[in-house]
């Protein structure tokens, strides 16, 4: 990107984008849990809200 500063053209680096979004935001929206864990991005992994973290199917078994 070029802009004019004091009558002269200056070249300014833009931050990299994918489809107009910031790279980190694009990864957060589109990456799956397997890719995130392979690339050590565990803080980005989110549990789905529709189901509980543990299974309640076997909670009735007494042993």
The radius of gyration computed from the CA coordinates of the chain, to the nearest angstrom, equals 23
Decide: helix, strand or coil at residue 29: helix
When pLDDT is cut at 50, 70 and 90, the band that residue 20 belongs to is: confident
The tens digit of pLDDT for each residue in 30-63 reads 888 888 888 888 887 777 666 555 655 666 666 6
Lookup: tokens for 42: 């565990």
What per-residue confidence (pLDDT) applies to 39? 86
């Amino acid at each position: 990107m070029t802009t004019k500063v004091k009558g002269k053209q200056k070249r300014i680096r833009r931050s990299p984008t994918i489809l107009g979004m910031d790279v980190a935001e694009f990864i957060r929206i589109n990456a799956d849990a397997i890719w995130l864990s392979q690339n050590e991005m565990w803080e980005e992994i989110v549990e789905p809200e529709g189901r509980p973290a543990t299974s309640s199917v076997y909670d009735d078994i007494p042993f």
